[in-house]
Structure 1
């Protein structure tokens, strides 16, 4: 009995394309080190590694151009995925690069995130701050009451993440927040998206954002970096902690980046110890000089 052959199925050249790309992306995600890439990338360390990779590729290339290109390509790929290729890079960078060079890399971008807005004038117009009895800036009673209530509602990381997702117009499932080092960090889709001095600093920003959204026309139309700068200025104006009602005091401390230590000015709660604001002391010195 002759067996009837089954019909041949046409081959789809596109079959497997999606899974192939997913596999590559999964592999890249596994190889990437988020502690030293993305927003956490250390520019001095990256610069040192690129320079060393270029020197190694040039040296090998004088013997074999092909091998030199391979060394350069692999080195750059490692720097892109891992942050650096030479073991012990932070220690090497800290030891051999002058502090003035490291400080230059740590400075904030020169562009004016406020877009010419005077933060004190803006916060006064918004009804958020006024003159205190001692002549210093003080948060208005109504704003303070609303801020305390708003911070109290953000009593879990899940609520913080949902509130942050709402401010960014993102699905809540895309945003996570968690402790990171001495501060608090946010991630969107697994990638670094922001860092705050403490959990309370993040909760304060989110509560203040909601207050300004309800009271200030055009608040949400401002660029995200402008709103972030104004929220930071508002935190600096606080004289009492929105979490425990303790006094907020100004002081100094030493902070550590990937490869250097530097002085910072800190506004923190005397009672609970939460940091509400932190800035590189060198930047404030430069502003005073100007």
Structure 2
């Protein structure tokens, strides 16, 4: 009977590897305060209170109902850093997005650019000439309009893919999907300088990760999103003369933005929808704009809502 009660109380989503240390510390502090107050009336009651509180925190991950939600929403980033928690969510933004890096350590050499061998990577002694260059910030709307990638929509006040570019893009997607995606395809699409053999594509849940020898070079929310980026890069190489001159992060910025304008799922051909969703990690949560394939549930694009210009 005792075992059954303990099993019913357990909440694996908030314990073990999923335990939120800030939540645990906060609830232990509350337990100590409450038990101290009880102990003023009866020492036995105080001992029982602290024992019961610790048991509940161990089994459930928290004592006070709603602690995980409150912590994720309102605990300051500085407090999360005290516990070694990264306050920013790791959104799948392709290559060069603010959330694409997932280095295995805090070493500065494990950034996506360094790990992926971007043109800004330096070898040997540093100098002003070989110092890392900042990725070029493009005005995406101007870039797309000037190269006939986008045009004003005929039926609404928005921008849409031009028929010609959409046709070329979908044809490239179909060809790539039929042949399969190799790490070398992604390396070529983003102009990484390292040997393609030093890269691999890994699946984590639904996400697709381009992994280099020193870290993660790119992260996509799904296989269709990765295929769409690689295919679009090949089409843009033909449509824009300066495409080959762009570095990996700039290409990633362009391709991630372009993915928003797909009107059908790249691989299944079904409809897509744009919604606001909540993305959570162990200790933080944020509202995001998500573009998702309706039939398969595969996500094509995600961006934090608070980073979108009003």
TM-score greater than 0.5 by the shorter chain: yes
How far is the alpha carbon of 1:104 from its aligned partner? Answer: 9.0
Residue equivalent to 1:178:
202
Give the conservation status (yes or no) of the 8 Å contact 1:148–1:243.
Answer: no
Match for 1:218 among 232, 242, 263? 242
In the alignment, structure 1 residue 272 sits paired with structure 2 residue 303 = no
TM-score by length of 1: 0.58
Residue equivalent to 2:176:
154
Please, what is the CA RMSD of the aligned residues?
A: 3.2
3-state SS of paired residue (2:173): helix
1:8-43 Cα offsets, whole Å, 9 max, x none, are: xxxxxxxxxxxxxxxxxxxxxxxxxxxxxxxxxxxx
Residue equivalent to 1:256:
280
Residue equivalent to 1:128:
149
1:176-220 Cα offsets, whole Å, 9 max, x none, are: 112113311110126322101111111111111111112101112
Query: Larger C-alpha radius of gyration, 1 or 2?
Result: 1
How far is the alpha carbon of 1:121 from its aligned partner? Answer: 1.2
3-state SS of paired residue (2:202): strand
| Partner Cα separation in structure 1 for residue 136 and residue 277 of structure 2 | 30
Residue equivalent to 1:99:
75
Give the conservation status (yes or no) of the 8 Å contact 1:160–1:203.
Answer: no
| Partner Cα separation in structure 2 for residue 257 and residue 153 of structure 1 | 36
Q: How many residue pairs align between the two structures? A: 196
1:125-181 Cα offsets, whole Å, 9 max, x none, are: 122111222132111122112212222233379633120122324333221112113
Give the conservation status (yes or no) of the 8 Å contact 1:251–1:265.
Answer: yes
Give the conservation status (yes or no) of the 8 Å contact 2:71–2:284.
Answer: no
| Partner Cα separation in structure 2 for residue 262 and residue 132 of structure 1 | 31
TM-score by length of 2: 0.55
Call closer, same or farther: CA 1:185–1:116 in 2, change over 3 Å: closer
3-state SS of paired residue (2:243): coil
What stretches of structure 1 of length at least 5 have no aligned partner?
A: 1-43, 46-87
5 Å matches for 1:1-290? Answer: 98-101=74-77, 105-106=87-88, 108=98, 115-135=136-156, 136-155=158-177, 159-167=181-189, 168-189=192-213, 191-284=215-308, 287-288=309-310
Give the conservation status (yes or no) of the 8 Å contact 1:147–1:242.
Answer: no
1:31-74 Cα offsets, whole Å, 9 max, x none, are: xxxxxxxxxxxxx99xxxxxxxxxxxxxxxxxxxxxxxxxxxxx
How far is the alpha carbon of 1:123 from its aligned partner? Answer: 0.8
What stretches of structure 2 of length at least 5 have no aligned partner?
A: 1-19, 22-57, 63-67, 90-97, 100-133
**Comparing both chains, which one has the higher relative contact order based on Cα–Cα distances under 8 Å and sequence gaps of 6 or more?**
2
| Partner Cα separation in structure 1 for residue 86 and residue 139 of structure 2 | 26
| Partner Cα separation in structure 1 for residue 250 and residue 282 of structure 2 | 27
| Partner Cα separation in structure 2 for residue 134 and residue 158 of structure 1 | 35
| Partner Cα separation in structure 2 for residue 139 and residue 175 of structure 1 | 32
Give the conservation status (yes or no) of the 8 Å contact 1:144–1:242.
Answer: no
